[in-house]
Amino acid sequence: MILRLLKLIIFLFLIGVISTFISYTEGRTKIDWLGWGIDLETSHFIMILILVSFCFIFIDRLWRFMISFPKSALLRRDEKNREKVEKNLVKAFLLASHGEYKQAAKEALLISKNTKDKKLGLLIKEHSEAVDAQHENDQMKISNKYLNTLSNDKNTSFIGHLAIMRIELGKNDFNKVYEHANEAYKLEPNSEQVVKILFYTSIKLNKIQRALEISKNPLVKNLYSDDKYKNILSDLYYIDGVNKFDVNKKEAEKAFSKSVESFEGNVLAVLKLAKLFKGISAKNKSIHILKNGFFNSPHEDILNQLIKRINYKTSGERVSYAISLINNEKIAPINVNEIKIEVAKYSVKEKIWGEAKKILEGINEEKRTNVAYQLLAEIAGSQNKPNEVKEYLKKAATAKLSFSFFCSNCGYDNQKWELNCKSCNELSSIKWQDQPVDIDLNKNLININ
């Protein structure tokens, strides 16, 4: 306002200066146009032009003011409403964060009355009604209406799908959870909550291809340690290979290969892949895969398949090859004794008793497993030594367990491989391994809440 007044004063001052200057200038101005004309001093003519210009400017400013006055009043009203909305919004947020949901809903109702966006106001009102519903039936009906409103509006559809997803998760309706998680993921692929639940339900519903697609999202990798993530990928690719096995052997081979790439000790994937190799290099490929698999997961079936592939003719040759595996530098220290036990078991099967006994006696007593003592009892039985048999079986009953499909999460012996542990339901925690000692029964690596 002050600036406008200052401009007007400067304008009047300029008119005065120009008029004074012109008034001392000689000359006349004459205009004759269609019988109409003027004849006056030039200084007066210029003065009239300046005054007329000033009048036009004044009228223009006056007209603008008259037009903008109602608009200014509306802007002032909107500003007050905005202040009310902001205050109510802050209050509602603080109340909700402290568990006062019904009070927060009342504040939300005030927001719905003051907000300029009527569609948003209606949405907030329905939210308030959903929170404030007293009876269970009314609450369910109003909540469903509210959530459908959220889901159908492009601005709030992510929130709607997210809310329905969590409600259906509480009901264990995994088909609906997957449906809404999938829609939410399309809208917001960077939501950790959505990624986690969609990944979990995809696996739960055996939608392995979808799970593998989602596994490429960096958020999935961030949920687990590197080893855990690789185990999950290995297991998923193995299941993918099994699903494709009867339909397309080539695609199945690719899936099993990716499974073994992720974890070389995936027993079932190694055995499947070794049988699928075809062509000139099939034997060498199979031997390489089986050998690495045995070093990572010393399983009886892998050793049998490996020696069968090499195709030695005599028992002595087969046992000699098995014994040669014991000192391989690729073997992890944790697997050394189990590999010795598996080689001894193979030697017993081939009735090479002396080599088997020599291998087993080379293992420290405190590290011998129940299987090791059972094998020693069998060897003693072949030598007709009943007292030794009895002694070894007695030790077998109290010895530590040999390798099995133990859960890394809870330590449960699942006896065979499953995607989820039967005891704790942990994902991809079952491996052919020594029984875990340091386990945390409270940890839950696939907590989806």
Among 16-25, 40-49, 66-75, 223-232, name the one with the lowest average pLDDT. 16-25
- Residues 6 or more apart in contact with residue 289 via CB below 8 angstroms: 260, 270, 273, 274, 277
Q: How far apart are CA 77 and CA 75, in angstroms?
A: 5
Residue with tokens 């120009």: 18
Number of H helices, E strands in the chain: 20, 4
Burial (Cβ within 10 Å: 0-12, 13-18, ≥19) of residue 273: buried
What is residue 442's predicted lDDT score, i.e. its pLDDT?
Answer: 45
106-120, 144-158, 315-329: which is most confident: 315-329
CA distances from 373 to 353, 356, 363, 395 (A): 14, 12, 11, 7
pLDDT tier at 20, thresholds 50, 70, 90 = low
Give the residue, 447 or 26, on which the prediction is more confident.
26
3-state SS assignment for residue 279: coil
DSSP letters, 408-433, are TTT--B-SS--SB-TTT--BT-EEEE
**Continuous segment of H or E residues that includes residue 40:** strand 36-41
Amino acid at 334: I
pLDDT tier at 444, thresholds 50, 70, 90 = very low
Q: How far apart are CA 204 and CA 201, in angstroms?
A: 5
When the pLDDT of each residue in the chain is averaged and rounded to a whole number, the result is 81
Sign of CA dihedral 92, 96, 102, 103: negative
pLDDT tier at 351, thresholds 50, 70, 90 = very high
Amino acid at 385: K
- Tokens in use for 241? 């290979």
Amino acid at 214: I
What is residue 67's predicted lDDT score, i.e. its pLDDT?
Answer: 73
| Strands 404-407 and 430-433, bridge-based pairing | antiparallel
Give the residue, 376 or 116, on which the prediction is more confident.
376
CA distances from 113 to 76, 83, 92, 105 (A): 17, 13, 14, 13
CA distances from 424 to 19, 235, 419 (A): 98, 17, 12
Q: How far apart are CA 154 and CA 339, in angstroms?
A: 60
Average pLDDT of the segment spanning 141-169: 72
Question: Can you give the length of the chain in residues?
Answer: 449
Per residue in 225-248, pLDDT tens?
Answer: 999 999 999 999 999 999 999 999
Name the DSSP class of 438. S
Average pLDDT of the segment spanning 43-59: 73
- According to DSSP, the residues that pair with 433 across neighbouring strands are 404
- Checking if the pLDDT of 357 tops 90, the result is yes
pLDDT tier at 135, thresholds 50, 70, 90 = very low
Residue with tokens 């073994």: 260
Q: Look up the pTM and report it.
A: 0.70
- Do residues 243 and 211 touch, judged by C-beta distance below 8 A? no
- Checking if the pLDDT of 307 tops 90, the result is yes
Q: How far apart are CA 416 and CA 395, in angstroms?
A: 25
Give the residue, 9 or 302, on which the prediction is more confident.
302
Residue 321 CA to chain centroid, in angstroms?
Answer: 46
Average pLDDT of the segment spanning 134-157: 60
Buried b (16+ CB within 10 A) or exposed e, 368-382: bbbbbbbbbbbbbee
pLDDT tier at 177, thresholds 50, 70, 90 = very high
Q: What percent of the chain has pLDDT over 90?
A: 52
What is residue 79's predicted lDDT score, i.e. its pLDDT?
Answer: 72
Q: How far apart are the first and last CA of the chain?
A: 59
Among 120-134, 243-257, 315-329, 346-360, name the one with the lowest average pLDDT. 120-134
